[in-house]
Chains A and B, each alone.
Chain A
Amino acid sequence: MTRSRGFEATRREASNDVITLKWYTWLAVLLILAVAGEALAWLVAAQGMPVAGGVIAWAARVAAAGWVGYGLWRWREQPWVRRTTLAVIATVLALLLLRLCVAMGWHGGAIAVAGVYAMAAGFVLGLLLIRLLLSGGHPILGVARTLIDEAVRMRVALVFIIALLLALPALPLAMDPAELLRYRIQSFLSWSLMAVGALLSLMTVFLAVATITRELHDRQVFLTLTKPVARVQYLAGKWLGIALLNLLLVGVCGGGIYVFTQVLAQQPPAAGESATAVREQVLAARIAVGPRPSAGVNLPERLEQRLLQYQQIQPEVYGEPGTPPERLPGTLRREVERQVKAEWMSVGPRQTRTFRFENVPRPRGDQGQVQLRLEPNLTGASPDERVYLEMRINGRPYRVPPLAEANYHVLPIPAAYFDEHNTLEIAIINRGRDPSVQPPGVAFNPSDGLQILSRADSFEANLLRGLAMLWLRLGFLAMLGLAAGAFMSFPTACLLGLLVYIAAASSGYLYESLNEYAYLPGAEQSSGLDPITAAPARFIERLAEGEYGDAFKVIVRVIGSAFMLFVPSFADYNPGPLLADGLLVSWRHLGHAAVWVGAVWTGAMGVIAWLIFRNRELARVTV
């Protein structure tokens, strides 16, 4: 007994020098040195001894710096001391850099330094909060928390996190100050959201794949799954950890984007540009209402007439004359519809075209207004590349300034122009600059070349919804990475994850390309099962006609379409362009993303991951 107590005493004495000093004691000393030194210096200087005050202040700073260094060296094994010391050093460095930038008059640099510091601090505090949230004694929480630790302590995710925290504050510096302010803001929004989306997507895929393949390879999973942890809980914990990390990063980056957007918006607008207009057109969330034909214009009838023309010329493609439009392949019908609509949305020389906008949200108050957004394209030559139009809105004349060709313009329409049905009937007259000279025709893009925009929500709420949509996409990628990692090696799983991500991000373009590559009559839609069900007939037909190259293309099309069945269409849930154009990311749109991307696609991928992981043997042959 005596011997054992003696031994214990020896052990405890030996370790006393390490554990006696608590982190808060050390921090208290540091704060006292810093605050008391500055206060004393101020008091001395206030007594008319500025030199002595300066000496005291610097002596206190040197002592504080020495104490920080001592803490780092002596108690580096104490996590709290180490973290606090690093935080203090980072703060001091940031302050010094900030001061240097201000002294040099480089305000952009100062903003960037402050941004990096604020985002990094937000990230660290957020991490502490997440770790606190995950501190419960449950396997899912335990796995999730360890994944968070893995992400910030291993290189895979940390590289992306640091790149993001550095790149975002640097983006405003890359904006050309000579550009129109609204273009600068739009560019920043567009680039920053693209950078956040791309970097976080890559990080998510790499992290999800790495965490599971590494644990299988290095066999940490042996220990975890011989504890009372169901395999589905293991996967759920991994996903939860990645989802929470993404939530934090999206939040921190979203905060950075918002702050830097506001900083940019404070800059003086370019000559002839209104700061109010910038706020109304960019830092807004607007609903777009497209035009409808006015009374007397029957677009379906025009479509039938146009089809009849084509059927008479090419019956093998468009069917026999008289074949109704609904019996044509969807892609063909949509193409003819687009042509007819494009013709309707063009105004010939000295012609008038009336566009009807129905159910436009009426602006609040008499001072309220909506915006007419138009992009006029000339169909012929113009000496000054400008478009001269006249307008009448609900019968009242509206003055239109000369418009630069092939540029977007926004014209305010006051509430006074509205009728009682909230309809705006806009007649566009193409008279030209000089009545004696015939002007070229003017055409508007059928998709978004002519729209009424009405403010529906604030920029802040819109940004939040956009970021939430981005987070939902990342959730799918996380589950995809886990599913791939559950049965593939790291490089193969990463390759698959990236392939799906790129396909999902460019899904619209891919569908169009596949359609162009191998046209399949009878495929109503470019996506879904239509191309696969329509392929066999087309394949046999091409073979029968001896068109072996075309038959091969059909096979490629089927493979591509089959792959795209497993890829969600991220193009439909991309908030970047909407936010950059000040268009509304609606709750309905977000809900749609939550159901399809968040629940259906992520859930389906989760089930696949579980089915793979549930039955696989975790150990390997070792005989």
Chain B
Amino acid sequence: MTQLQADNPARATSEDWIVKCVGLTKTFRDFWMRSRVRAVDGINLDVVRGEVFGLLGPNGSGKSTTIKMILGLLHPTSGRIAVFGHHPSDVAIKRQIGYLPEESYLYRFLNARETLDYYGRLFHQPRAQRRMRIEKLLEMVGLDRVATRPVGEYSKGMQRRIGLAQALINDPQLLILDEPTTGLDPIGTRQIKDLIVELAGRGKTIILCSHLLADVEDVCDRVSIMFGGKVRRAGTVDELLVQQDHTTLQVPSLSPDEIEALEQVLARHGKHIERVERPRQRLEQLFLDIVHEAQAAGLDTSGATSGGQIATFLTGGDDDGDGEAGDAIIDRLVGGSAAEPTTTAPPSPPEGAHPPAPRAPAPDAEPDQAVDRNVLDSLMGGGDDGGGEGGGDAPRRDGKRGDTKR
């Protein structure tokens, strides 16, 4: 799969389709078999290998129903679905799928470690591999210190974290996330977004179902916007959001005189400045900075920690790896976890400019980040994921893609 194909699914080959829905319809009937609700109405969806696909829509628009049909939990009334080229009820394809539902559907009586152990067993994972992955995932989602508490005692955010961990236990090729950031604090939200970017960069395909538009905008390559069971708009994020008739310049702060001079120059070209404003820092970034400072001051919390490095088996590392690669990238992946606060975050562009670059894991990028990326790339090295459940034949995404878009 190439970037071009991800941007333009029409040019993708049949081998690149991960999910393909044609004329998908789901009608719910009442007791008397009368059509009651047409939840999904003849939609066509194509998700290609290696892309982050956003499924947007308000409540009741049919996103979750679509997801459940893709997963085989609901049967389509008409239309066809192929996942990895097979029917969704095919058990074999589920080895390559990770699913985070919109709510916690976990066993309340199991603790976090037992929960992951259970789901690991379902993938026929041997004991040693299960243990290693469980420890790495618990650390990654920040639940290693509360791993022996029953999941039923967890807060909603902690349940989302363990839910995410179970979705990743098999190192899936296709990750389906249904409202993944619901109930999470901004740190957790940021982590999940960074994780999505990272996994996509490693060749995983991700379907993100959400009504939190900022989340989708931050990480998705393509989106489909649903309403009333139909796809109303579809395309890449740029195609849908870039205003072709406007240009935003970002320059160091200008005085009124300089703005006046600029206005005169533009007037000679028949243009004028419509709006002048100072860019604002995003609230998310401000919040993260405050939390970093509190953590640096040593203040403790009884809940989940901020999470650790991304599990090495997810990034193509050896299942038995010692996590050194993660050390190299931890700042970038979990900026909120750093002992020292980040103070050099660049301001976000002003309104009307391009959206925040997707695939940019953290806005607080620093020069040493390039080193981290190199370390990570050298570790991943385009090699196969030996411990992955879904095989390692997925083409690796170019890690610079996000930067390119930025």
Chain A interface (Cβ within 8 Å of chain B)? 1, 3-8, 10-11, 14-15, 18, 77-79, 135-139, 141-143, 145-146, 149-150, 153-154, 218-220, 222-230, 617-619, 621-623
CA distance A336 to B164 in the complex (A): 74
**B63-88 vs A: 1/0 string, CB under 8 Å?**
01100100111110000000000000
- Chain A, residue nearest B301 (CB): A14
B287 within 8 A of A: no
Say whether B37 contacts A623, CB under 8 Å.
yes
Contacts of B36 in A (CB 8 A): 621
Instruction: Tell me whether A77 and B149 are in contact in the complex, defined as CB-CB below 8 angstroms, given that A1-B328, A223-B106 are known contacts.
Output: yes
B73/A226 in contact, CB under 8 A: yes
Q: Is the Cβ of A135 less than 8 Å from the Cβ of B73?
A: no
Contact for B340 among A3, A8, A135, A143, CB less than 8 A: A3
Q: Evaluate contact between B338 and A15: CB separation under 8 angstroms.
A: no
B124 neighbours in A (Cβ, 8 Å): 137-139, 228
Q: Is B92 on the interface with A (CB-CB < 8 A)?
A: yes
B270 at interface by CB-CB < 8 Å: no
> Given A223-B99, A223-B106: A230 and B91 within 8 A (CB)?
yes
Min distance, Cβ B328 to any Cβ of chain A, angstroms = 6
* A86 → chain B closest CB, angstroms: 15
In-complex Cβ contact of B109 among A6, A8, A142, A149 (8 A): A149
Cα–Cα distance between A105 and B289 once the two chains are bound (Å): 72
Distance of B136 from chain A, by nearest CB (Å)? 13
Given contacts A11-B308, A15-B145, A222-B105, contact A227 B338 (CB under 8 A): no
Residue of B nearest to A142 (CB): B121
Q: How far is the CA of A223 from the CA of B122 in the complex (A)?
A: 10
Identify which of B62, B72, B92, B130 gathers the most chain A CB atoms within 10 Å of its CB.
B72
Q: A191 to B148, alpha carbons, bound, how many Å?
A: 42
Which among A6, A139, A141, A621 has the greatest number of chain B C-beta atoms within 10 A? A621
| Stretch from B13-21, B112-120, B181-189, B211-219 that touches the partner | B112-120
Complex contact B107–A619 (CB within 8 A): no
Q: Which 7 A-B pairs have the closest CB atoms?
A: A142-B121, A4-B330, A227-B122, A153-B109, A619-B73, A219-B105, A7-B339
Q: How far is the CA of A621 from the CA of B31 in the complex (A)?
A: 13
Which residues of chain B come closer than 8 Å to A5, judged between CB atoms?
A: 327
A139: contacting residue among B65, B122, B328, B340, CB under 8 A:
B122
Interface majority SS (helix, strand, loop, mixed), chain A? helix
Minimum distance in angstroms from B25 CB to a CB of chain A: 13
Within 8 A of A (CB), among B306-332: 308-309, 327-328, 330-331
Q: Which of B89-113 contact A (CB under 8 A)?
A: 91-92, 94-95, 97, 99, 101, 103, 105-107, 109-111
User: Do B121 and A141 touch (CB < 8 A)?
Assistant: yes
In the bound complex, what is the Cα–Cα distance between A135 and B148 (angstroms)?
18
Given A3-B339, A7-B338, A623-B60 in contact, is the A137-B74 Cβ separation under 8 Å?
no
User: For residue B179, which residues in chain A have a CB less than 8 angstroms away from its CB?
Assistant: none
Determine the distance from Cα of A158 to Cα of B37 in the docked complex, in whole angstroms.
42
Q: Given the complex of chains A and B, what is the CA–CA distance between A11 and B298 in angstroms?
A: 10
Query: Tally of A-B residue pairs with Cβ under 8 A?
Result: 141
**Interface SS of chain B:** mixed
Contact call A225/B148, Cβ cutoff below 8 A? no
Q: Can you list 24 A-B contacts with CB-CB less than 8 angstroms, sorted by A residue number?
A: A3-B339, A4-B309, A4-B327, A7-B339, A15-B144, A15-B145, A18-B145, A77-B148, A137-B125, A138-B121, A138-B124, A141-B121, A145-B118, A149-B109, A150-B107, A218-B105, A219-B105, A223-B101, A224-B122, A226-B73, A226-B99, A228-B92, A228-B123, A623-B229
Q: Which of B220-279 contact A (CB under 8 A)?
A: 229
- Output the nearest chain B residue to A134 by Cβ-Cβ distance: B121
Given the complex, which residues of A lie within 8 Å of B127, measured CB to CB? 135, 137
What chain A residues lie within 8 Å of B94 (beta carbons)? 226-229
Instruction: Tell which of A220, A223, A227, A619 touches B123, judged by Cβ atoms closer than 8 Å.
Output: A227
A143–B111 Cα distance when bound, in Å, is 16
Complex Cα gap A7–B298 (Å):
10
Interface membership of B367, Cβ < 8 A: no
Hey, what's the 0/1 contact readout for B39-80 against A, CB within 8 Å counting as 1? 100000000000000000000101011001001111100000
Q: Whole-angstrom distance between the alpha carbons of A79 and B107 in the complex? A: 18
Given contacts A3-B339, A226-B71, A229-B122, 4 further A-B contacts (CB under 8 A): A136-B121, A137-B126, A225-B72, A227-B123
Q: Is the Cβ of B73 less than 8 Å from the Cβ of A225?
A: yes
Q: Given A3-B331, A11-B308, A138-B124: A146 and B105 within 8 A (CB)?
A: no
Output the least CB separation between B377 and chain A (Å).
Answer: 16
One of B73, B99, B130 near A617 (C-beta < 8 A): B73
- In the complex, how many residues of chain B place their beta carbon closer than 8 angstroms to a beta carbon of chain A? 65
- B132 CB to nearest A CB, Å: 13
- The residue on A at minimum CB distance from B96 is A228
Q: B331 touching A4 by the CB < 8 A rule? A: yes
Q: Is B173 an interface residue (CB 8 A)?
A: no
Measured in the bound complex, the distance between the Cα atoms of B126 and A478 in whole Å is: 29
Contact check, A154 vs B327: say whether CB atoms are below 8 A apart.
no
Partner of B305, one of A11, A225, A226, A619: A11
Q: Is B191 an interface residue (CB 8 A)?
A: no
User: Contact partner of A150 among B28, B109, B339, CB < 8 A?
Assistant: B109
Instruction: Type the 1/0 row for B337-381, where 1 means its CB is closer than 8 Å to any CB of A.
Output: 111100000000000000000000000000010011000000000
Known contacts A1-B368, A228-B91, A621-B37; is-contact A142 B118 (Cβ 8 Å): yes
- Asked whether B166 is an interface residue with its Cβ less than 8 Å from the other chain, the reply is yes
- A residues in contact with B393, CB < 8 Å: none
For B1-37 the 0/1 string (1 means CB < 8 A from A) is: 0000000000000000000000000001000000011
Residues from chain B with a CB closer than 8 A to the CB of A229 are 91, 94, 122
Interchain CB contact (< 8 A) of A4 among B37, B103, B338: B338
Verify B74–A228 contact, CB threshold 8 A: no
Cα(A479)–Cα(B50), bound, Å: 44
Contacts of B166 in A (CB 8 A): 223
A44 to B154, CA, bound (A): 52
Could you say which residues of chain A place their CB within 8 Å of the CB of B111? 79
Chain B residues within an 8 Å CB radius of A153: 109
Q: Are B95 and A228 in contact (CB under 8 A)?
A: yes
Contacts of A225 in B (CB 8 A): 72-73
A222 touches B101 (CB 8 A): yes
What are the residues of chain B within 8 A of A227 when measuring CB–CB? 94, 119, 122-123, 170
Q: Which residues of B contact A8 (CB under 8 A)?
A: 308, 327, 330
Task: Give the distance in Å from the alpha carbon of A223 to the alpha carbon of B101 in the complex.
Answer: 8
Q: Is the beta-carbon distance between A219 and B101 smaller than 8 angstroms?
A: yes
- How many angstroms between the C-alpha atoms of A219 and B60 in the bound complex? 19
Question: Nearest Cβ in chain B — how far from A545, in angstroms?
Answer: 41
Asked if residues B122 and A228 are in contact (CB atoms below 8 Å), the reply is yes
User: Are B130 and A137 within 8 A (Cβ)?
Assistant: yes
Q: What is the minimal beta-carbon distance from A52 to any residue of chain B, in angstroms?
A: 43
- Chain B residue with Cβ nearest A6: B339
B75: nearest residue on chain A (CB-CB)?
A: A617
In the bound complex, residues from chain A placing their C-beta under 8 Å from that of B145 are: 14-15, 18
Complex: how many Å from CA A617 to CA B29?
13
Q: Write out the residue numbers on chain A whose beta carbons fall within 8 Å of the beta carbon of B327.
A: 1, 4-5, 8
Contact present for B72 and A226 (CB under 8 Å): yes
Q: Identify which of B122, B327, B338 gathers the most chain A CB atoms within 10 Å of its CB.
A: B122
A3–B206 alpha-carbon span in the complex (Å)? 30
Q: How far is the CA of A90 from the CA of B288 in the complex (A)?
A: 49
List of A residues within 8 angstroms of B330 by Cβ: 4, 7-8
Q: Is the CB–CB distance between A146 and B107 below 8 Å?
A: yes
Which residues of B have CB within 8 Å of A228? Answer: 91-92, 94-95, 122-124
Assess A621 versus B107: contact at CB under 8 Å? Given A10-B339, A11-B305, A219-B101. Answer: no
Across the interface, which residues of B come within 8 angstroms of A15, CB to CB? 144-145
Q: How far is the CB of A617 from chain B (nearest CB, A)?
A: 5
The answer to whether B92 touches A149 (Cβ under 8 A) is no
Residues of B contacting A136 with CB < 8 Å?
121
Whole-angstrom distance between the alpha carbons of A229 and B99 in the complex? 14
A218 contact set on B, CB distance < 8 A: 105
B121 adjacent to A220 (CB under 8 Å): no
- CB neighbours (8 Å) of A11 from chain B are 305, 308
